[in-house]
Chains A and B, each alone.
Chain A
């Protein structure tokens, strides 16, 4: 089933037990965030808040739409228990066949329209997600839609949005850690101090939001990949005050201009699990708001794993790294960014030894991640196996390669002040494979596990009698 909007998605989640509908009145000021945080930490269901303090009946918050592999699988129309490996394969298959959107004239997101003086962001229950954040965040699970002025490329990105006042939000765009939206704004508009048209879609259908959160190649329109993921085009409708196109079934659309005004923003508890300092980002002036009846804002409560950003990147980011390494001729079997590691570690299984690959990996892969390279008999999706390989096979002296002067993500918690200012850090590769010269018959230690040191006949007999012997 392909979901046209989150409302249909929630109906199915309710049947599978993957959403809790909270019917009592919940405070947007910290309480909603606390409930979602606790649900995430317990690997629990999504949360639909049906009554929000200070807001009329019908105004709702939908927390953590894709915070588990189960919910992502359901959004993709797959069985809820689909494995992360299959989700990766499915993601790769579907995004290889992008489908362009269609433009419609009528749209649910146009049921209500506020223009200019009527604009009031406080009409909507944007949550104060964490105590001590710099403001209420109306944008934590949404898309920021920006068009390249020199081509047909339209970028969808998920850049956090902090409410400053009734008609301004801060937008996470910075050259210190440039996303594609930042490159568009700072290259084409900011140098001449010109405003840039922008639209924000909050509460688009689950796979459109998923596509916005993924990192595709530069200058690729995410809406096409959203179509590929859905298996059918995304329906778009034109904004009221500019020519941008927005998902027609979104809950709330903010239209406006990103101004060449840089102001303090944050701090905000971020995807890595920590809240670091305030930043300085441009401001968006909101010129129009269109929204559905009984609008439902979406939110993710970023912080300690696992939440929506981790699930998204563990699928899409893993596929990206795998494709990149294979394109460089590296014999990669699987790649996995464990969500429990907040996407700061990637496990790569290779055929043969990883020792020969350290230099290639150091040159190919980007950012300040930690890479654990394992043999292809280690299941990268099983953290127990990965930890065992790390502990027992990574030589402390020769198995660790540190590559200095690498691009560092602004949000990396471990950066020094100097590294944060320059945007330069380091990355490390842990070689958890057997050395290349070791013979399988005489040098390589033999794995002692049920699968490895018992003949097939014995294993089958054990499994045949397992339940009768009293095991569960």
Chain B
């Protein structure tokens, strides 16, 4: 079953796509741990297929963009990796 994540960006135009994207995401899986923050490396694409994990994008003040991206997490970067 596909999972849902979101991330905050200063501007949606700044969101990198492709492989090896380093992101701070929130896990939106329902339950007690919803909104758990993870720093990940992922492949992010603009076309979201039903079987993909979904990435939603929020602006800096919390605005939820209507676009859905797909995300495939390929690695964990640790709790608070240096930028």
Report A's interface with B, CB cutoff 8 A: 29, 54-55, 122-123, 128, 130-136, 163-166, 168, 261, 263-264, 267, 275-278, 283
Contacts and interface: CB of A to CB of B under 8 A. Distances in A.
**Chain A CB within 10 Å — which of B8, B32, B60, B61 has the most?**
B32
7 contacts: A123-B32, A130-B62, A135-B26, A165-B36, A267-B61, A277-B61, A278-B60
Nearest to B36: A165
Interface in B14-64: 24, 26, 31-38, 58, 60-64
Given A263-B80, A278-B8, A166 B62 contact: no
B interface majority secondary structure: loop
A132 B36 contact: no
A134 B8 contact: yes
Nearest to B34: A29
Given A132-B61, A164-B80, A264-B8, 9 more contacts: A29-B34, A122-B36, A131-B62, A132-B62, A133-B62, A136-B35, A163-B35, A277-B60, A278-B60
A168 B38 CA distance: 12
B13 interface: no
A122 B60 contact: no
Contacts of B24: 264
A164 B27 CA distance: 11
Interface residues of B, number: 19
A166 B36 contact: yes
Given A264-B24, A276-B61, A168 B35 contact: no
Contact of B33 (A122, A168, A276): A122
A443 B69 CA distance: 70
Contact of B37 (A135, A275, A276): A135
A435 B63 CA distance: 48
Given A263-B80, A264-B24, A283-B80, A132 B33 contact: no
Contacts of B35: 128, 135-136, 163
A164 B60 CA distance: 17
A131 B34 CA distance: 13
Contacts of B64: 132
Contacts of A166: 33, 36
Contacts of B62: 130-134, 267, 275
Nearest to A285: B79
**Chain A CB within 10 Å — which of B8, B24, B37 has the most?**
B37
A131 B64 CA distance: 9
Contacts of B60: 267, 277-278
A54 B30 CA distance: 10
**Chain A CB within 10 Å — which of B8, B24, B38 has the most?**
B8
A113 B53 CA distance: 37
Contact of B61 (A29, A55, A275, A283): A275
Contacts of A163: 35
Contacts of A267: 8, 60-62
B75 to A, nearest CB: 17
B80 A261 contact: yes
Contacts of A263: 80
A345 B35 CA distance: 36
